[in-house]
């Protein structure tokens, strides 16, 4: 669906440029935007390489295992239907840790693995389970202590102090996660009420 949306916007832009006589401006902007996109990707590659390397070091020294163990009580509250020693707990914890550190791209692969494992635990394959919905809500709200991507974008576009947004980012993502978790807990309780 998103491909159709992008194609529609591109076609509308070209048609509008043709009717208003601004095709040369569209051509110039397209080339400069492509150059800017490549530059931004290179900058983000460096930032992500640094943080992915730090995550691998943390995994190698056992820090990720310790953090996963410390998250188990929280995971039990958020995902009460998941068996205690199931591998999905590790995937969910790794995903949450990566999101908290602002590594959304690093969180995606383990997030997909977690969702796949949650699907195997789901008794009703036609509907998402409460655990699947909770995991999705937590992923979307994405509590972040270090918004690496936004800091990198601000740095790339010439911000004098790219990390100025830390306080606001922590507050906003904390609030969104809190609301998401509260909604998830309420929805889980309502879904388990007997239907008359």
Q: Per residue in 73-120, pLDDT tens?
A: 888 888 988 888 888 888 898 888 888 877 777 778 888 889 999 999
C-beta of residue 144 within 8 angstroms of C-beta of residue 88: no
The Cα 28–Cα 79 span in angstroms is: 51
The Cα 161–Cα 170 span in angstroms is: 17
Residue 196 binned pLDDT confidence (cut-offs 50, 70, 90): low
- Percent above pLDDT 90 for the chain: 8
- At residue 121, the 3 state secondary structure works out as helix
Task: Give pLDDT, residue 139.
Answer: 86
How buried is 40 (Cβ within 10 angstroms: 0-12 exposed, 13-18 middle, 19+ buried)?
Answer: middle
pLDDT, mean of residues 50-64:
78
% helix / strand / coil in the chain, to the nearest 5? 80, 0, 20
C-beta of residue 136 within 8 angstroms of C-beta of residue 143: no
Task: Give pLDDT, residue 117.
Answer: 92
> Does the reported pTM lie above 0.85?
no
CB atoms within 10 A of CB 63: 14
Q: What average pLDDT does the structure give for the chain?
A: 83
Nearest to 69 by CA among 81, 54, 57, 85: 85
Please check the confidence at residue 195 and state whether its pLDDT lies above 60: no
Residue 135 binned pLDDT confidence (cut-offs 50, 70, 90): very high
Q: Per residue in 17-42, pLDDT tens?
A: 888 888 888 888 888 888 888 887 88
- At residue 196, the 3 state secondary structure works out as coil
- Is the alpha carbon torsion for 122, 123, 128, 129 positive or negative? negative
How buried is 151 (Cβ within 10 angstroms: 0-12 exposed, 13-18 middle, 19+ buried)?
Answer: buried
Task: Give pLDDT, residue 85.
Answer: 80
pLDDT, mean of residues 62-77:
84
The Cα 10–Cα 28 span in angstroms is: 15
66-96: b (≥16 Cβ within 10 Å) or e: ebbeebeeebeebbeebeeeeebbbbbbbbb
The Cα 112–Cα 118 span in angstroms is: 10
Q: Per residue in 156-182, pLDDT tens?
A: 788 888 888 888 888 988 999 899 989
Task: Give pLDDT, residue 150.
Answer: 80
The Cα 164–Cα 51 span in angstroms is: 20
């Amino acid at each position: 669906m998103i491909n159709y949306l992008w194609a529609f916007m591109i076609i509308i832009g070209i048609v509008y440029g043709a009717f208003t006589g601004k095709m040369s401006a569209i051509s110039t902007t397209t080339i400069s935007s492509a150059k800017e996109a490549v530059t931004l990707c290179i900058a983000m590659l460096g930032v992500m390489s640094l943080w992915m390397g730090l995550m691998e070091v943390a995994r190698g020294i056992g820090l990720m295992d310790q953090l996963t163990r410390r998250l188990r009580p929280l995971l039990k509250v958020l995902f009460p239907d998941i068996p205690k020693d199931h591998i999905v707990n590790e995937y969910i914890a790794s995903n949450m840790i990566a999101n908290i550190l602002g590594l959304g791209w690093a969180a995606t692969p383990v997030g997909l693995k977690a969702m796949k494992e949650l699907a195997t635990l789901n008794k009703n394959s036609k509907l998402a389970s409460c655990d699947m919905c909770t995991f999705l809500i937590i992923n979307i709200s994405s509590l972040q202590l270090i918004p690496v991507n936004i800091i990198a974008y601000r740095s790339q576009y010439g911000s004098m102090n790219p990390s100025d947004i830390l306080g606001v980012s922590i507050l906003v993502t904390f609030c969104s996660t809190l609301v998401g978790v509260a909604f998830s807990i309420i929805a889980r309780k309502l879904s388990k009420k007997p239907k008359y």
